[in-house]
């Protein structure tokens, strides 16, 4: 056995637990879901081939599916740009060279590492209409707060507001991007008499666009799969105002045991993510700047 082949086999042996786990728990279910999407399958009885009936029902007959898609797209369109804006602003503020800045960075980053379930439980109390912190503060200002999670007009906005709690995660990435911007660009701009605003819009933001693009793509993918917070806090209510696509998919699979239909929904979601991600990559040449 040659030394090169021996090294390759040794490497494969070391990563084999991961490879086996990926194939068994991800690869095979992934392929199996394609087959199930063309069947009617309720776990109890064997799958029955129905062709494109699941997809046809999704697109033409299922009003809940259309509503869930609209809710998810609305959430993505608003929450992703809002998260990027807040993350960039926070990173710019925490990029200042002041005393104790590492403490402030840590404080703003900590919420992003709190488990999602714990964060959701905290916000369920904060947004409680009777004893919640938000309505309590509003009451002291003479304002009667709404039933945040119980009002169809406010429930989705409440989840968007809660999403800003974890903006520290993207903030760290933006900070790393800011540190990579060469100082000589700022020095040259100062010599040329550029104002702070011009340096921000002509140097900082253009040089930060690769990081913004990365967070944009990851944000869109994550928002289209938004599930945990809605499942715990509202379970799709009130009046389906927070019934996200992933939540409806979960209900079809595990509440109604309609695995074939849920598999078709999963593949529609997968294709939507592929299309949107490809579209975003198609636009990067117009506004994402690499290098100096």
Per-residue pLDDT of the chain (292 residues; tens, 9 = 90+): 788 888 888 988 999 999 999 999 999 999 999 999 999 998 889 999 999 999 999 999 999 999 999 999 999 999 999 999 999 999 999 998 888 888 999 999 998 888 999 999 999 999 999 989 999 999 999 988 899 999 999 999 999 999 888 898 899 999 999 999 999 999 999 999 999 999 999 999 999 999 999 999 999 999 999 999 999 999 998 999 999 999 999 999 999 999 999 999 999 999 999 999 999 999 999 999 886 5
Residue in the structure block whose two tokens are 């999963």: 266
Which pLDDT score, from 0 to 100, does residue 292 have?
52
Q: Distances from the Cα of 193 to the Cαs of 150, 199, 204, in angstroms?
A: 54, 10, 16
For residues 118-130, b (16+ Cβ closer than 10 Å) or e, as one string?
A: ebbeebbebbbbe
CA 271 to CA 48: how far, in whole Å?
24
Q: Return the biggest CA–CA distance within the chain.
A: 81
Residue with tokens 């033409």: 60
Domains in the chain, ordered, with CATH? 58-287 (1.10.3720.10)
CA–CA separation, 267 vs 262, rounded Å?
A: 9
Q: Are 220 and 277 in contact (CB under 8 A)?
A: yes
Cα-based distances in Å from 117 to 121, 122, 124, 147, 229: 6, 9, 10, 21, 7
The pLDDT value given to residue 258: 93
Structure tokens at 163: 């999403």
In this structure, are residues 59 and 51 in contact, taking their beta carbons and an 8 Å threshold?
A: no
- Specify whether the backbone of 62 is left (phi greater than 0), alpha (psi in -120 to 50) or beta: beta
End-to-end CA distance of the chain: 49
Q: Please choose, from the candidates 205, 197, 213, the residue with its C-alpha nearest in 3D space to the C-alpha of residue 181.
A: 205
Question: DSSP strand E in the chain: where?
Answer: 39-40, 48-49
> How many helices (H) and strands (E) are present in the chain, helices listed first?
15, 2
Cis ω before 241 (30° cut-off from 0): no
What is the model's pLDDT at position 27? 92
């Amino acid at each position: 056995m040659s030394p090169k082949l021996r090294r390759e086999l040794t490497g494969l042996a070391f990563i084999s637990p991961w490879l086996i786990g990926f194939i068994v728990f991800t690869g095979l279910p992934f392929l199996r879901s394609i087959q199930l999407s063309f069947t009617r399958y309720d776990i109890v009885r064997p799958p029955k081939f129905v062709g494109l009936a699941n997809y046809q029902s999704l697109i033409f007959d299922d009003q809940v599916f259309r509503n869930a898609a609209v809710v998810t797209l609305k959430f993505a369109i608003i929450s992703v740009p809002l998260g990027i804006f807040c993350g960039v602003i926070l990173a710019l503020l925490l990029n200042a060279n002041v005393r104790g800045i590492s403490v402030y960075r840590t404080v703003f980053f900590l919420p992003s590492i709190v488990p999602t379930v714990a964060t959701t439980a905290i916000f369920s109390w904060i947004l409680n209409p009777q004893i919640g912190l938000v309505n309590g503060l509003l009451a002291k200002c003479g304002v009667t707060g709404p039933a945040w999670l119980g009002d169809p007009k406010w429930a989705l906005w409440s989840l968007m507001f809660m999403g800003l709690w974890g903006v520290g995660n993207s903030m760290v990435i933006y900070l790393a991007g800011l540190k990579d911007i060469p100082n000589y660009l700022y020095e040259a701009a100062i010599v040329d008499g550029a104002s702070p605003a011009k340096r921000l819009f002509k140097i900082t933001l253009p040089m930060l666009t690769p990081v913004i693009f990365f967070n944009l793509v990851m944000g869109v993918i994550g928002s289209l799969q938004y599930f945990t917070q809605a499942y715990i806090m509202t379970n799709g209510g009130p009046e389906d105002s927070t019934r996200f696509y992933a939540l409806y998919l979960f209900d079809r699979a595990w509440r109604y045991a309609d695995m074939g239909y849920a598999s078709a929904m999963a593949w529609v979601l997968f294709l939507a993510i592929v299309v949107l991600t490809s579209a975003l990559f198609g636009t990067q040449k117009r506004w994402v700047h690499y290098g100096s």
